[in-house]
């Protein structure tokens, strides 16, 4: 049963997507970040607004909508959980350019809930470094498995990048999403 906030209240678009579920059981060594870049865990009162900003900016072209429609209280409860790591990649000037959300609430069965970069920094190898950082963090925390999923609406390099990082496909499911029109990327809007 869908949460009430996932049900569109106005105009919506039905989108057919294939969701690929992957897992990784191979720890990796923490990567070396490029000079001047850092990855920082963000908590407290600054977490919610920064998360919302990055989630919207990273996912705008890929139909990331579920967390955008989630009420602040629900999202804050997730981000405030000590077993959820909201990690932000910052460039040499300290500006956030990417993030990941690592969910360790199920003991050793970790989930990379969200992961992405701002489009202006793509193509520079930062995605691979940030993904390796997430994998290392999950296994350093005692996880025996790290799960992630991607879909046909995500960046076309998402699935190949996960596979290169040691993830293997466990399942693919075809789904129909009823997405509020305000969150549908321009390239997918009805004519």
pLDDT tens for 96-131 read: 999 999 999 998 999 999 999 999 998 888 999 999
Tens-digit pLDDT profile for residues 7-54: 778 888 899 999 999 999 988 888 889 999 999 999 999 999 999 999
> Is the per-residue pLDDT at 1 higher than 70?
no
Tens-digit pLDDT profile for residues 67-101: 999 999 999 999 999 999 999 999 999 999 999 99
Separation of alpha carbons 72 and 140, rounded Å: 30
Percent of the chain with pLDDT over 90: 77
* Amino acid 7: pLDDT: 76
Separation of alpha carbons 116 and 157, rounded Å: 11
Token pair 């077993």: residue: 83
Mean pLDDT computed over every residue of the chain = 92
Rg of the chain taking only CA atoms, in angstroms = 16
* Amino acid 190: pLDDT: 60
> Is the per-residue pLDDT at 6 higher than 80?
no
Distances in Å between the Cα of 31 and the Cα atoms of 35, 84, 92, 100, 162 are: 12, 21, 17, 15, 15
Instruction: Report the predicted TM-score, pTM, of the whole model to 2 decimal places.
Output: 0.93
Q: Nearest-CA neighbor of 106 among 135, 147, 55?
A: 147
Q: How far is CA 189 from the centre of its chain?
A: 23
Largest CA distance in the chain: 49
> Is the per-residue pLDDT at 191 higher than 70?
no
* Amino acid 124: pLDDT: 85
Residues sharing a CB contact under 8 Å with residue 69, sequence separation 6 or more, in sequence order: 5, 6, 180, 183
């Amino acid at each position: 049963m869908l949460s009430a906030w996932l049900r569109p209240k106005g105009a919506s678009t039905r989108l057919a997507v294939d969701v690929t579920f992957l897992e990784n059981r191979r720890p990796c060594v923490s990567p070396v970040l490029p000079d001047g870049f850092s990855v920082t865990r963000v908590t407290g009162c600054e977490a919610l607004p920064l998360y919302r900003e990055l989630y919207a900016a990273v996912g705008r072209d890929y139909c990331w909508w579920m967390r955008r429609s989630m009420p602040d209280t629900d999202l804050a409860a997730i981000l405030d959980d000590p077993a959820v790591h909201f990690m932000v990649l910052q460039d040499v000037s300290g500006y956030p350019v990417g993030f990941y959300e690592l969910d360790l609430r199920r003991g050793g069965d970790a989930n990379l809930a969200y992961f992405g970069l701002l489009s202006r920094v793509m193509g520079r190898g930062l995605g691979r470094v940030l993904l390796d950082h997430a994998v290392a963090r999950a296994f350093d925390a005692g996880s025996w498995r790290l799960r992630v999923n991607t879909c046909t609406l995500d960046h076309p390099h998402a699935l190949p990048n996960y596979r290169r990082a040691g993830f293997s496909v466990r399942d693919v499911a075809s789904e129909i999403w009823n997405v509020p029109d305000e969150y549908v990327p321009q390239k997918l809007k009805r004519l």
